[in-house]
Structure 1
Amino acid sequence: MTAAVPAALLLDGVLDAAQAADTVRSILAHQQPDGAIPWFHGGHLDPWDHTEAAMALDTAGEHAAAEAAYRWLADRQNPDGSWYAAYAYGQPGTADGTATDLARETNFCAYVAVGAWHHHLATGDDRFLERIWPTVSRALDHTVRLSLPGGAIAWRQDENGAAAEDALLTGSCSILHALRCGLAVADHLDRPQPDWELATGRLRHAIARHPERFLDKDRYSMDWYYPVLGTALRGDAATRRLDADWDRFVVPGLGVRCVSDRPWVTGGESAELALALWAAGQSDRAVEILRWIQHLRHHDGSYWTGYVYEDHAIWPEERTTWTAGALLLAVAALGGDHATVSVFGGEELPGGLAADDCC
């Protein structure tokens, strides 16, 4: 690390200064010379988790490393504004950076806007925002082009470019967050984006009012908390949603199930739920979740992806940069980090057109 750990990353029972520094180093240790942040050594990179890890680095003051991650995205963007779903790093017989999954997932592509706005808020660097603007603009234009009737966004294009006819709730919530951050970037640079404003309003309306417009993935905890994490729901609506399925997904003392009918808790989902709880004004619950998942912490500061509690077994046997990244972002929000609070709190983000105007 290049500097002392910011106070926002210190949380009693979760991270002290030495532990926070180790966790940041565990992400930096996987970053490649070209700026890529794969899941782990010998794993792959996907653009969404790469961005989440970059945002976590910014919470720790590792701004140069985060900017290198955004340069990777700018350098690897396809002409249509997309990225592929997976890129190889450290895999025998495959050159680093080779695309290994040629599908293009819309939430993967849109998320650069969240990272770009977060980096700008963390650094105040207007020059960075000017440089990354073409990347953000192309990515969100690509995403909006895949809007479906009713406001949802097609969840992917296959390797031949054919768009899905369906939308995923979790992915669409992430896209809503990205569109709102993209509008913040556009406002700051004085580059109005009426198409994004329209798409934001329509998508937010679909998420809040029309669950039938999304594929049924109710067994997955992400579909439970992402309407809150993605800023679609706040206030009483957020509280009601989080309370409704708490007992179905939360395993006291261990964390959050990835899937409701499997005895498997995962660090990434647990940390993201903590971030959603913080956004809904439930900080005590958020801290409790983060304390529970310390059983997934490795001695080097990284975090295991998950734990099968009926078998008392770590599974899979991998420690992912995005799990560490999600935890750092949740701690940073609870600690009052300005960039993280602004981006995930949502109150300061443009809301797009109101539903009455666009739907």
Structure 2
Amino acid sequence: MEIPAIAGVLTAEQVLATGAAIVGMQEDSGALPWFPGGHTDPWDHIESAMALSVTGFHAEAEAAYDWSRRHQRADGSWPIRTVAGRVEDANIDSNFCAYIAVGVWHHYRITGDTGFLNRMWPVVWSALELVLTYQRPDGAFRWGGDQSGAKFAEAQITGNASIFQALDCAIRIAVEMGQPEEDFILAHAALGAAFAERMDTAFEPPSEHSMDWYYPILGGAMRGERAQQHIAERWDEFVVPGWGARCVHHRPWVTGAETSELALALEALGDTADAIGLIESIQHLRDPDGSYWTGLVFSDGKRWPVEKSSWTSAAVVLAADAISRTSAANGIFRDVRQTVLDLR
């Protein structure tokens, strides 16, 4: 299969090496931890699996999805944090649970494997049915809860933007399965209205992290002129020319994953040149083995944390795919629909 490349920035061979580096971090169980010996969370696990699909490691990607299928709890959730099969944080993050829909739709778009979709549809359905119980009357989703059934009140911008994309993917899967799901459609519409009409009141105020800035675009909840203005307002606050994007606005620390996700958001708006510039700016994080270091404190030139994370490498691969429009799933972020009520 064709591997993504960005002319003058990344060759196909380099992107393939990044996929292979992620494979090298995968546990025998199929889990994709943050780094060898580190913890696995159900969101970053899926992001890493998506990069494996893009780089042709389909068996390894399906092993990751099988891990999700086998480790899903009876209520449709996954623990927030697992280390080598041992649960370290049993609580529930609604966004973490919803993201399975994005990964499953992405892998299906690349492979066309209906058997895979049939196996994973019950997993997606169960996860999203659980996630819907976290939606508030104003359309926003509570960020999480515990095993007793208690739900935390706060609705966070980043998590909700990601859930918006997950709902769109879940709706697409349901239609493909011939089982359109009304509840998913209505939940997607209500969340979209929260972003469009009451973003300042429905969600917690934006934090110091860049994710709260660009995620409404990355997740597809914001497009057009409004999105362009939204990016422009804080560009100088987060983007450091030649280095990448800051993770936290007041710290001299750029991170590969946030920079790549910002590039994905820009590409979704049609700003391909700036997206390419961002990916080029973080090649200082690339290791000879093809993996990427998590971040760099540019004020003193030190890598921090001192780890090569699977999800950082994955974000670079997904950005390269979107920019080059290589795989059949390269539009997974660009093509998120802002309304799907016409499917009712």
- Fold shared by both chains (TM-score > 0.5): yes
In 2, Cα distance between equivalents of 1:324 and 1:161 = 35
Unaligned runs of 5+ in 1: 89-95
CA displacement, residues 41-75 of structure 1 (integer Å, 9 cap, x when unaligned): 11100010000000011111111111111110000
1:190 pairs, out of 178, 183, 201, with 178
The count of corresponding residues between Structure 1 and Structure 2 is: 342
Q: Where does residue 193 of structure 2 map in the other structure?
A: 205
1:160 Cα deviation after fit: 3.6
Q: Is the 8 A contact 1:181 1:350 kept in 2?
A: no
Q: Where does residue 222 of structure 1 map in the other structure?
A: 211
Q: Does 1:82 align with 2:77?
A: yes
Correspondences of 1:89-168 after superposition (within 5 Å): 96-168=84-156
Q: Secondary structure at the residue paired with 2:160?
A: helix
Q: Does 1:313 align with 2:308?
A: no
Q: Secondary structure at the residue paired with 2:9?
A: coil
In 2, Cα distance between equivalents of 1:351 and 1:181 = 12
1:340 Cα deviation after fit: 3.0
Measured at CA, do residues 235 and 338 of structure 1 come closer, stay the same or move farther in structure 2, by a change above 3 Å? farther
1:240 Cα deviation after fit: 1.3
Q: Does 1:69 align with 2:58?
A: no
Q: Where does residue 32 of structure 2 map in the other structure?
A: 37
Segment drifting more, 337-346 vs 72-81: 337-346
AA of the residue aligned to 1:260 = H
In 2, Cα distance between equivalents of 1:250 and 1:19 = 25
Q: Secondary structure at the residue paired with 2:63?
A: helix
Query: Structure 1 vs Structure 2: percent identity of aligned residues?
Result: 45
1:138 Cα deviation after fit: 0.4
Q: Where does residue 91 of structure 1 map in the other structure?
A: none
Q: Secondary structure at the residue paired with 1:231?
A: coil
Q: Does 1:277 align with 2:266?
A: yes
Q: Is the 8 A contact 2:206 2:213 kept in 1?
A: no
Q: Secondary structure at the residue paired with 2:245?
A: strand
Q: Does 1:236 align with 2:242?
A: no
Q: Is the 8 A contact 2:109 2:328 kept in 1?
A: yes
Correspondences of 1:249-328 after superposition (within 5 Å): 249-328=238-317
Q: Secondary structure at the residue paired with 1:265?
A: strand
In 1, Cα distance between equivalents of 2:131 and 2:328 = 24
Q: Is the 8 A contact 2:220 2:338 kept in 1?
A: no
1:25 Cα deviation after fit: 1.1
Measured at CA, do residues 339 and 168 of structure 1 come closer, stay the same or move farther in structure 2, by a change above 3 Å? farther
Q: Is the 8 A contact 1:266 1:306 kept in 2?
A: yes
In 2, Cα distance between equivalents of 1:154 and 1:121 = 30
AA of the residue aligned to 2:123 = T
Q: Where does residue 93 of structure 1 map in the other structure?
A: none
CA displacement, residues 166-207 of structure 1 (integer Å, 9 cap, x when unaligned): 100000000010000000000011112111111100101112
Q: Where does residue 45 of structure 2 map in the other structure?
A: 50
1:34 Cα deviation after fit: 1.5
Q: Secondary structure at the residue paired with 2:158?
A: helix
1:21 Cα deviation after fit: 2.3
* Poorly superposed stretches of 4+, deviation over 3 Å: none
1:350 Cα deviation after fit: 7.8
In 2, Cα distance between equivalents of 1:340 and 1:126 = 15
Q: Secondary structure at the residue paired with 1:341?
A: coil
Compute the RMSD of aligned alpha carbons: 1.5
In 1, Cα distance between equivalents of 2:248 and 2:219 = 19
In 2, Cα distance between equivalents of 1:296 and 1:342 = 25
AA of the residue aligned to 2:171 = L
Q: Secondary structure at the residue paired with 1:340?
A: coil
In 2, Cα distance between equivalents of 1:13 and 1:315 = 27
In 2, Cα distance between equivalents of 1:340 and 1:243 = 28
In 1, Cα distance between equivalents of 2:10 and 2:300 = 27
Unaligned runs of 5+ in 2: none
Give the TM-score, by structure 2 length: 0.96
AA of the residue aligned to 1:11 = I
In 2, Cα distance between equivalents of 1:183 and 1:165 = 26
1:24 Cα deviation after fit: 1.0
